[in-house]
C-alpha cells in the first residue's frame, strides 16, 4: 500500500473538477426514486392520525376496498397513535388521485387520550403520559462531571447565568421520503430515497425475516436527506406490505406535510447555563441543566461544554417525550444547539469582562488548528472594525459575531470496494455508497482516475446499490474518509494486477515494469505498451476487492465562522450580509464540491437561527406551519456574500466535512445581531418580533 501522492503531483485530488453526474442533473435525465415507474405499479398513501394521542378502536374500510382502482388496503398497522401525523391505515391504488380520494373514505373510531406537546409541561409529575407503560415522560438522561465545579465558581471573578431555548428544525430535503417496493418471488427490491442502501437492506431483511442477500436496495440519485433518511422508517414497511398484498410494485412517496410531521426533526434544547471566569478571561467552571425533546424519540442531548476548556464542569441532561414525531439526526446532531448557547454566553461573558470576544476564545480554545483559523478569519473579515455592542445610532445598525465548531467523523474500517479493468480498457468501480448531493459519485471516480492515471471520464463509478460492496450510511461526515481510501486501495491492487500481466508478457519480474500516464514501459526501456494494449492482454477482466485501511484518512475537524449582519431597528428585520468560513478537512478530495457543501451548511445556519421553527399548537397538537411558506427556509433574497477558506492539512489524509460547516455560524449570527442592537438573545429563531422585543427591553432598562 502506498500513501496519497504529494498535493502538487495530483491531477484531481486537492483540485476543483465538476461533478460527473452534473449533465444528468441539469437535463432532467437523472432519475430519482420519485421519478421511477414500473409496469403495473400502484401508488400508495398513508392515512394519518388527526389526534396527538389516541387508541384506534376500529377502522371501517368498507367504502375503500370496493372503490374502483383500489388494489390493497392495510388497517392493521397499529392500535395506538402518538402524534398528529402518525400512521393509521394505508392504501394502494392505480393512480395517485384514486389513492388520495380513498384516504377520505376510511372511517376510524378513536378513543382520544390526553397528550402533551410542551416539554416543560411534559416534565411535570401530573403531565399526560406519552407512553402508558412508562412512569413519566423522561427518557434517557446524562450526568457528566469533571473537576470540582463548586470550587471553580469560587475561583471565578465573574459569573454569568442564562437560559437558552432552542427550537425544533425540520430537515426538508427537496425530494420527500419515499420508496418503491417490488417483490419478485421471495426477493424484495426497493428503490429508495435513502442515505443508506446497506443499512436499509439489513433492516428490511430483519423486519421481513428474509436473508439479507434477498433484499436489494437501490438509490441512483436522491434529493437530499440531511440525516433524516439514515434508516428504515414505518413507511418502508407499509410500502412493502402493500406491495406484497397487491402482488405488484407499489410506489409510496410522502408529501411535504408528512415530511414535516412524521420522518424526523432536529430536537429542541433548553439549556440553563452558569459559567465562571477569572478577570483575565481564564474560564474556571461550567454548569448545565438541560432538557430537550425529540418527540416520541430520543437524542436531544448536547455536547457541552462545547469547544472551550473548562477545568471544572457539571452537565445534567434529560430527554423529554412529547406527542410529536420522532427526531432524527440532522447535520451535526446536538452541535448547533450547543454552539448557540455556548457562543451566546461567551459573548455575554466577554462583555462583562470588558474583553474582545475573539480574544476570550483564543484564550480558552485548546485546539491548535482553530487557533490559526481564528487569525485567518479575523483578518479576512476585518474583525478589528467590530464596534462596541449597541453603540450605533440610526435605523440600520451593523453587527459582527463569531463562532466555532468541531466534529469527529472519520472512516469506517468495514468499507469495501471493487475495481474492475476490462480487456477493452474500460474501468469501473463498484461501492455500495450513495450520493446524497455531496458529490460522492464524483470522488469515487476521481480517486480511481488519480490512482490509475486516467481521465475522470474513463472511470465509471457504480454506486447506490446494496448489491455492491459494503459502505456505511452517508452520515456523520464519514462518507469521504470511508470511501476514498478504500477505492484507492482497490484501484492500486487492480493496477498491480495489470502490471503483473504485462510483466508475464514481457517475461520480466513486475518490478521491471513502470506505469505512468497510461503507458507501461520496461525498466530497460526496450518494451512499451499503451493502457489499451496492456488491457488487451487480459483474457478476463481484472476484478480486485479491497477493504478500508488506516493511513489515508483521519478524523477530527476544527472550523470557525465570522458573520456580519444589518438590523433594521424599526422593523426588526435582520439581513445577514457577510459570512466568512475557515474550515479544514485534511486532504480536500474535490475543492469545488467541498466549498459548495460548506457554503450550503452556512446557508442552513441562516435558516436555523433566523427563520425556521416547527410550531405545535398546545390545544390540538397540530403543527400549523407544515408547509414551505409558513415554515420558511432561506431563499435567494436572503443570501449574504460568502468567503470560504480551506485551511490546508492535506498531510492528514481525507476527512469528512458534511457536519462541520453547519455549526459555527449558529452562535455567530446570534452574536452579530446582539452586537448590532446591544441586547442578547435567549430564544431561537431570532425573528423580527424577538429583535423588536430585545430592543424594547433594552430601552426599557436604560
Q: Which chain residues interact with other proteins by CB under 8 A?
A: 18-19, 21-23, 25-32, 34-35, 37, 95-97, 172-176, 221-224, 226, 255-256, 436-439, 592-593, 596-597, 599-604, 627-629, 633-637, 639, 642
Nearer to other proteins, 391 or 630 (CB): 630
Joined together, the cell numbers standing for residue 100 give 388520495
Q: Which residues contact 627 (CB under 8 A, 6 or more apart)?
A: 256, 257, 260
Nearer to other proteins, 26 or 540 (CB): 26
CB of 642 to other proteins, least distance (A): 6
Nearer to other proteins, 94 or 467 (CB): 94
- In order of 177, 185, 217, 600, the CA distances from 182 in angstroms are 17, 10, 11, 35
Q: Which sign, positive or negative, has the C-alpha torsion 168, 173, 176, 181?
A: negative
- The DSSP call for residue 40 is T
Burial 634-666 (b: 16+ CB within 10 A, else e): beeebebeeebbbbebbebbbbbbbbbbbbbbb
- Determine how many CB atoms are found less than 10 A away from the CB of residue 593: 23
- In order of 301, 340, 388, 539, the CA distances from 698 in angstroms are 32, 21, 15, 81
H or E element, residue 416: strand 416-421
CB of 41 to other proteins, least distance (A): 10
Joined together, the cell numbers standing for residue 227 give 440525516
Nearer to other proteins, 176 or 204 (CB): 176
CB of 626 to other proteins, least distance (A): 11
Joined together, the cell numbers standing for residue 30 give 437523472
CB of 263 to other proteins, least distance (A): 14
Nearer to other proteins, 346 or 449 (CB): 449
Nearer to other proteins, 23 or 114 (CB): 23
**N residues, the chain:** 702
Nearer to other proteins, 276 or 664 (CB): 664
| DSSP β-ladder status, 70-74 and 312-320 | unpaired
Nearer to other proteins, 187 or 641 (CB): 641
CB of 226 to other proteins, least distance (A): 7
CB of 607 to other proteins, least distance (A): 9
User: Long-range CB contacts (< 8 A, 24+ apart) of 109-114?
Assistant: 109/56, 109/57, 109/58, 109/59, 109/60, 110/49, 110/51, 110/54, 110/55, 110/56, 110/57, 110/81, 111/54, 111/55, 111/57, 112/51, 112/53, 112/54, 113/51, 113/53, 113/54, 113/55, 114/53
Nearer to other proteins, 463 or 695 (CB): 463
CB of 624 to other proteins, least distance (A): 15
Helix, strand or coil, per DSSP, at residue 635: coil
CB of 588 to other proteins, least distance (A): 14
Q: Which sign, positive or negative, has the C-alpha torsion 33, 34, 36, 39?
A: positive
CB of 680 to other proteins, least distance (A): 27
Nearer to other proteins, 167 or 596 (CB): 596
Residue 59's nearest CA partner among 81, 42, 44, 43 is 81
Burial 417-444 (b: 16+ CB within 10 A, else e): bbbbbeeebebbbbbbbbbbbbbbbbbb
Q: Are 17 and 442 within 8 A, CB to CB? A: yes
Burial 102-115 (b: 16+ CB within 10 A, else e): bbebbebebeebeb
Nearer to other proteins, 220 or 652 (CB): 220
CB of 239 to other proteins, least distance (A): 17
Burial class from Cβ neighbours inside 10 Å (0-12, 13-18, 19+) for residue 89 reads buried
Q: Which residues contact 577 (CB under 8 A, 6 or more apart)?
A: 398, 564, 565, 566, 640, 641
Which residue stretches of 139-233 are H helix? Answer: 149-155, 197-208
Q: For residues 399 and 381, give the distance between their C-alpha atoms in angstroms, rounded to a whole number.
A: 12
Helix, strand or coil, per DSSP, at residue 408: coil
Cis peptide before 131, with omega less than 30 degrees from 0?
no
Q: What angle do CA 599, 33, 490 make, to 5 degrees?
A: 70
Helix, strand or coil, per DSSP, at residue 135: coil
Nearer to other proteins, 28 or 366 (CB): 28
Nearer to other proteins, 437 or 469 (CB): 437
Nearer to other proteins, 32 or 321 (CB): 32
CB of 198 to other proteins, least distance (A): 20
CB of 451 to other proteins, least distance (A): 23
CB of 146 to other proteins, least distance (A): 36
Alpha-carbon Rg for the chain, nearest whole angstrom, is 28
CB of 595 to other proteins, least distance (A): 8
- The DSSP call for residue 644 is E
Nearer to other proteins, 94 or 428 (CB): 94
Nearer to other proteins, 150 or 627 (CB): 627
CB of 600 to other proteins, least distance (A): 3
CB of 256 to other proteins, least distance (A): 5
Q: Which sign, positive or negative, has the C-alpha torsion 494, 500, 504, 505?
A: positive
CB of 638 to other proteins, least distance (A): 9
Q: For residues 322 and 417, give the distance between their C-alpha atoms in angstroms, rounded to a whole number.
A: 43
Nearer to other proteins, 551 or 635 (CB): 635
Q: Are 562 and 580 within 8 A, CB to CB? A: yes
Q: For residues 274 and 287, give the distance between their C-alpha atoms in angstroms, rounded to a whole number.
A: 5
Amino acid at each position: 500500500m502506498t500513501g496519497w501522492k504529494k498535493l502538487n503531483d495530483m491531477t484531481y485530488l486537492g483540485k476543483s473538477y465538476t461533478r460527473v453526474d452534473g449533465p444528468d442533473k441539469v437535463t432532467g435525465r437523472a432519475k430519482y426514486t420519485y421519478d421511477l415507474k414500473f409496469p403495473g405499479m400502484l401508488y400508495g398513501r398513508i392515512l394519518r392520525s388527526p389526534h396527538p394521542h389516541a387508541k384506534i378502536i376500529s377502522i371501517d374500510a368498507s367504502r375503500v376496498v370496493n372503490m374502483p382502482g383500489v388494489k390493497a388496503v392495510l388497517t392493521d398497522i397499529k392500535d395506538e397513535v402518538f402524534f398528529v401525523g402518525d400512521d393509521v391505515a394505508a392504501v394502494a391504488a392505480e393512480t395517485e388521485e384514486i389513492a388520495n380520494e380513498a384516504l377520505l373514505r376510511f372511517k376510524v373510531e378513536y378513543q382520544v387520550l390526553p397528550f402533551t406537546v410542551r416539554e416543560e409541561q411534559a416534565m411535570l409529575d401530573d403531565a399526560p403520559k406519552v407512553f402508558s407503560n412508562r412512569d413519566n415522560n423522561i427518557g434517557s438522561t446524562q450526568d457528566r462531571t469533571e473537576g470540582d465545579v463548586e470550587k471553580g465558581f469560587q475561583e471565578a471573578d465573574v459569573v454569568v447565568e442564562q437560559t437558552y431555548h432552542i427550537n425544533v428544525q425540520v430537515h426538508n430535503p427537496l425530494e420527500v421520503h419515499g420508496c418503491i417496493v417490488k417483490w419478485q418471488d421471495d426477493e424484495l427490491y426497493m428503490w429508495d430515497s435513502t442515505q443508506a442502501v446497506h443499512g436499509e437492506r439489513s433492516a428490511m431483511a430483519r423486519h421481513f425475516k428474509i436473508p439479507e442477500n434477498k433484499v436489494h436496495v437501490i438509490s441512483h440519485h436522491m434529493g437530499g436527506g440531511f440525516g433524516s433518511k439514515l434508516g428504515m422508517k414505518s413507511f418502508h414497511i407499509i410500502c412493502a406490505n402493500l406491495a406484497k398484498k397487491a402482488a405488484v410494485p407499489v410506489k409510496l412517496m410522502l408529501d411535504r406535510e408528512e415530511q414535516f410531521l412524521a420522518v424526523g426533526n432536529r430536537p429542541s434544547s433548553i439549556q440553563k447555563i452558569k459559567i465562571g471566569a477569572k478577570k483575565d478571561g481564564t474560564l474556571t467552571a461550567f454548569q448545565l441543566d438541560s432538557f430537550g425533546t425529540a418527540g416520541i424519540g430520543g437524542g436531544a442531548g448536547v455536547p457541552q461544554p462545547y469547544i472551550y476548556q473548562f477545568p471544572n464542569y457539571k452537565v445534567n441532561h434529560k430527554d423529554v417525550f412529547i406527542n410529536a414525531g420522532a427526531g432524527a439526526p440532522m447535520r451535526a446532531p446536538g452541535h448547533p444547539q450547543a454552539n448557540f448557547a455556548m457562543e451566546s454566553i461567551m459573548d455575554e461573558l466577554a462583555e462583562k469582562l470588558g474583553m474582545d470576544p475573539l480574544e476570550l476564545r483564543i484564550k480558552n480554545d485548546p485546539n491548535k488548528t482553530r487557533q490559526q483559523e481564528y487569525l485567518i478569519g479575523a483578518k479576512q473579515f476585518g474583525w478589528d472594525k467590530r464596534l462596541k455592542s449597541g453603540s450605533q445610532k440610526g435605523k440600520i445598525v451593523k453587527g459582527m459575531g463569531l463562532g466555532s465548531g468541531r466534529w469527529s467523523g472519520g472512516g469506517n474500517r468495514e468499507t469495501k470496494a471493487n475495481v474492475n479493468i476490462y480487456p477493452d480498457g474500460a474501468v469501473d468501480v463498484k461501492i455500495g455508497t450513495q450520493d446524497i448531493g455531496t458529490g460522492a459519485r464524483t470522488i469515487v471516480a476521481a480517486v480511481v482516475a488519480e490512482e490509475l492515471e486516467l481521465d475522470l471520464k474513463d472511470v465509471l463509478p457504480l454506486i447506490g446499490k446494496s448489491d455492491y460492496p459494503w459502505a456505511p450510511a452517508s452520515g456523520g461526515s464519514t462518507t469521504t474518509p470511508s470511501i476514498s481510501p478504500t477505492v484507492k486501495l482497490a484501484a492500486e491492487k487492480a493496477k498491480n494486477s495489470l502490471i503483473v500481466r504485462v510483466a508475464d508478457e514481457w517475461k520480466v519480474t513486475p518490478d521491471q515494469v513502470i506505469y505512468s500516464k497510461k503507458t507501461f514501459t520496461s525498466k530497460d526501456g526496450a518494451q512499451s505498451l499503451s493502457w489499451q494494449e496492456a488491457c488487451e492482454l487480459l483474457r478476463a477482466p481484472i476484478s480486485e476487492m479491497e477493504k478500508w485501511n488506516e493511513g489515508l484518512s483521519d478524523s477530527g475537524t476544527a472550523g470557525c465562522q465570522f458573520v456580519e449582519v444589518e438590523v433594521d431597528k424599526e422593523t426588526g428585520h435582520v439581513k445577514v450580509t457577510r459570512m466568512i468560513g475557515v474550515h479544514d478537512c485534511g486532504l480536500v478530495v474535490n475543492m469545488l464540491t467541498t466549498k459548495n457543501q460548506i457554503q450550503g451548511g452556512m446557508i442552513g445556519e441562516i435558516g436555523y437561527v433566523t427563520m425556521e421553527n416547527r410550531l405545535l399548537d398546545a390545544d390540538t397538537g397540530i403543527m400549523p406551519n407544515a408547509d414551505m411558506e409558513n415554515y420558511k427556509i432561506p431563499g435567494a433574497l436572503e443570501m449574504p456574500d460568502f468567503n470560504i477558506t480551506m485551511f490546508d492539512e492535506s498531510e492528514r489524509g481525507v476527512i469528512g466535512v458534511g457536519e462541520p460547516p453547519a455549526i459555527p455560524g449558529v452562535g455567530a449570527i446570534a452574536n452579530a445581531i446582539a452586537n448590532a442592537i446591544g441586547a442578547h438573545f435567549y430564544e431561537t429563531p431570532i425573528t423580527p418580533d424577538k429583535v423588536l422585543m430585545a430592543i424594547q427591553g433594552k430601552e426599557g432598562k436604560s
